[in-house]
Structure formats: structure tokens, C-alpha cells
Chains A and B, each alone.
Chain A
């Protein structure tokens, strides 16, 4: 991480929001924004920083969500530990996927991720003894939790909001940290020219596998949170292509490869998509598709990328790509 102080301040400020007494609907919307931020940032680590476009990230979200559910409902492990385990499980699952799919480049890689996601969806649908098949899982009551003598009230939105802030912070801070590191420089090199990256000694497959694992951990964490917050998971909810597309959408609209982009993209998606769905009754996937086309055409660096460029003095085109955002 390049700048610790702004992060600490931003996270502290976010954690103070519940004290201002927002209604539970406002908190619910903020929770959604932060959950989508986490998921968009998960995709952005791989798709934005490394330029590896995945259309199958819902599979990793699904692994996280199902891990959380199965650990709680079958083994009694609380969902907050389940979220972490969900991230770890998704990262683990991503390793063979990466080793397999990263032998392919460009569109072939993207198609492979689509296939992998479909396989995971079919497993969730048909491996009934583990996943409950199409019925899915429902949490009827969350386990009691005492923090420093306080009993957490699960009827309130506040504990979920705090968890969502920490998750989104983990996603954005880790993105920032990677961008400032040697690993981040390698990712940029891979995005620019894979052959040249190999020629200068960068183990491109290894770097991409590590980055996919990072991305998968965040996606699994987000999936675990989904299970924890909505208390309901089935194959349609967490393993569908629409979810994969929403992750792509958030990262692209916000600004590919930027740190703050997913937060902007998630806000846009949550706010505007609700309006479009509620008022116009338009299919939201159509809306995502149209917005993405407009962004690619008129603002390829995304909303955050554009604002960031306008706010900071240009240091020359070269430096911008390497360090921007």
C-alpha cells in the first residue's frame, strides 16, 4: 500500500456512518454497494490489472457462498468464519482452473472461463448430497455473537454494514497494494505484451495464477457475504452468467485497473439499475450491455479513470497507465 493514512481515514469514516442514524433502507443500499464493490474489485484485480478477461467469476462467488452455507448448516461453523473459508476455498479452486485456462490467451482464455463457470453451476445443481441441488440452502437463524460483552443484534443492518465495509476495504486496499508492488508491474507488463514479459524473465503463467487466486479469494469472500446477508443461496442466485457480467460491468464502468473504480461502478450499478428495473421495467442485462458499450465507446478509462485523470496533473501518457488510479 502506497498511502496508509487516507485508507485509515476512509475506513474509519465509513465505519462511523451507522452512528449518524441512517434508516435501515439506507444501510441496506450501502451494504449492496459495498458487496458489489468487493465483487467488482475481485474481477478488476484479474481483468483490470492483468488484462485477463473472465466471464466466469460467478463460479468463484458460488464457491464462497456454498462453502459458507455448507460449513454453517452442516458443521455449525459460524458464517463470519465461513466467509473467510469461502475466500480460501475459492482461491484453492482457482489454482487448477488457472493452470488449465492460462495456457490459453486472449479470447480463448475468456471462453474457457465461461465453460468452467458452467461446470461449477452444473455441479451446484446436480451434486445434491453436498449442495441441496436446485433447492439450495436457507439460514433460518444466525448464531449468537458477543463482541466485547455486546450481543450482536442480527435484526439490525449495522453488523452487516460493518462486515461489508471491511470486505470492500480488503478488496480495494489489496488492489492498491498490488498496484504499487513488483507484482503489479509484472501484471502491467503481461497486459501490454505477454511475449515481451516472458522474454524479460517474467513467469507469466505463475503471475497470472497468483493474481487469479487473489481475485478468487475476494470473489469467494463476497460470495460468503452474500450467503451471510441474504441467508439464501441456490445455483441461480450465485452461479449464473448475469452475476459474472455484473462483475465485469462494475469494473469496466468504474474504470479498468483503477483502485477506486469498483466503488464508483458498484454505486452506479446499484443506484441506476434499481431505477431502471423499478421504473422502466427494462431487462437489467440489456441495461448493463448498453452502458458498457457507451463506456467503451466514449470513456474507455471508466468513470473513476476519467475523473482521476482530470483531477491529477498529467504526468505524461506513459506514467499514467503505470501508476494511475
Chain B
């Protein structure tokens, strides 16, 4: 069964057609890799699905329930969480308070929310930094915090926007394990990532975008061989 369905989604900014007539679905328990060159429209897809940007046309359904027109907080309440490519911590609050604020969504009592936040922080490897102000973290830890905060809202599906940018190969390995672990815990995942090694390793399926459109979709190993993908994506980027 489809957890998330996106149907003929479009939006423009001024003259730029950031997303054009895009359709895809994500099955329950799947990891869908979403790739494409810079400016392809990946982040905009996340903004549309999470209610930060309203589509000009198209439909979005989470477990059959329409999402278009809902505000971001309502989307989160329905069980769809996201991270931001450009991290948005609550900078002057502690790491624990950052995640506790997200945990309040399913745990109204502070004590429960804090306990849940601590458990999530343990899982993403930030347990040793709980009292630090989020703005003081390294970028790597801020990316972890993004994941922790999204996870603490108790989502059924998680949209991760380049969570591994700037990580060393060893860290990418750990992050990939974390993402796979989150999926194994029952959370469906859409992963935007430029680190191809990670995408190839953990995605069940890959969707390739270019200039707002879907240009390929399928198992990772097959998609990367398609000429259109090679031209649009790999032609511009040397992949390690």
C-alpha cells in the first residue's frame, strides 16, 4: 500500500517552474532516494508535501488522506516529518529542549517528552551533547539534531533533505546505518542526497529529477545507467 502519493504536482516561482507535473508514490516501509542536480526541485517537493509551499496544482495524499491546503503543523500532526537542507535549529535552546519541543507533539507531559527526546538523541548519537546550545553544535551535529527533531514528532514518514552533506566517508556510513535503522523501526523514508554511495546502498528505489521534472525512476543500479540521467546528473558532477 502507498504511504505517500503525489499526483501531477506543479508549482512556479516567478518564471521558474520549480516542479512540473510530478507524480510518484512511496510504499510503506520503503526508502525512496530522490536525486537530481542542484536546482532540480527536490527541496521544493519537500516544501510542497509538508505544506510550506502551496502547489499551483496537483494532489498529495498520506495514507489516502489529502494534504494539500494543510499547514505544516497539521501535516506534522498527521505523521509526516521533514528535515531542512539548511538546518533550522532553535539556536539558543539546548539540544534536549530542541528535541523536547518536537516530542511534545505526541507526549504532552514535559517529563514524558523529555524522556522521549533523550531516547531519540541517544539513537542519533547526540546523547553526550544534550545540554549544549544547538547553535554551538558543529554542522555535523546540527544535521543529526535535524533528524532527531523530526524523528521525535513520531512520524510514519520522514523526508530527509541532504542529511549527509559535508560528512566524511566514515560518517556517511554511520548516517546510512542510522537511516536504514529508522526505516527498520517502521518509518517510511524519502531521502534527498548527493552522496551517491549512500543513496545506492540504502535506497530501495530512486527517483531522478531535473528542472522540476521526473526523468527516471527505478532500482538504484538500473537508474544510474539511463542515458537521460547520465546526461542531466552525472554529466555535471563527478561522483566518487
Contacts and interface: CB of A to CB of B under 8 A. Distances in A.
B73 A321 contact: no
A13 interface: no
B101 A318 contact: no
A192 B149 contact: no
A201 B95 CA distance: 18
A149 to B, nearest CB: 46
Contact of B88 (A193, A202, A321): A193
Given A199-B84, A199-B150, A200-B101, A318 B94 contact: yes
Interface stretch (B18-26, B102-110, B229-237): B102-110
A188 B73 contact: no
B187 interface: no
B133 interface: yes
Given A316-B131, A322-B93, A201 B88 contact: no
Interface stretch (B33-41, B75-83, B196-204, B212-220): B75-83
Interface in B141-169: 149-150, 152-153
Contact of B133 (A199, A201, A317): A317
B222 interface: no
Chain A interface, DSSP helix/strand/loop, else mixed: helix
A317 B90 CA distance: 13
B93 A202 contact: no
B72 interface: yes
B89 interface: yes
Given A201-B73, A203-B71, A318-B97, A196 B104 contact: no
Residue from A188, A195, A199, A204 whose CB has the most chain B CB atoms within 10 Å: A199
B134 interface: yes
A321 B72 contact: no
B73 A203 contact: yes
Interface residues of A, number: 24
Contact-size category for B: 35 or more
Contacts of A322: 93-94, 97
B90 A189 contact: yes
Nearest to A204: B73
B104 A182 contact: yes
A319 interface: yes
A247 B165 CA distance: 46
A192 B98 CA distance: 10
Contacts of A198: 52, 71-73, 76
B90 A319 contact: no
A26 to B, nearest CB: 41
B91 interface: yes
A204 B73 CA distance: 8
B50 interface: yes
B100 interface: yes
A290 B210 CA distance: 55
B127 interface: no
A186 interface: yes
Nearest to B104: A182
B123 interface: no
A188 B102 contact: no
A185 B92 contact: no
Nearest to A195: B88
B153 A196 contact: no
Contacts of B150: 199-200
B131 A319 contact: yes
B108 A196 contact: no
Nearest 8 interchain pairs by C-beta: A318-B94, A318-B133, A192-B90, A201-B105, A201-B76, A200-B102, A198-B72, A196-B88
Interface of B: 50, 52, 71-74, 76-77, 81-82, 84, 88-95, 97, 100-102, 104-105, 108, 110, 131-134, 136, 149-150, 152-153
19 contacts: A189-B93, A193-B90, A193-B91, A195-B88, A196-B84, A196-B88, A196-B89, A197-B101, A198-B73, A199-B76, A199-B150, A203-B73, A203-B74, A317-B133, A318-B97, A318-B132, A318-B136, A319-B131, A321-B93
Given A199-B82, A199-B84, A322-B94, 12 more contacts: A186-B104, A189-B90, A195-B88, A196-B89, A198-B73, A200-B101, A200-B149, A201-B104, A202-B73, A203-B71, A318-B132, A321-B93
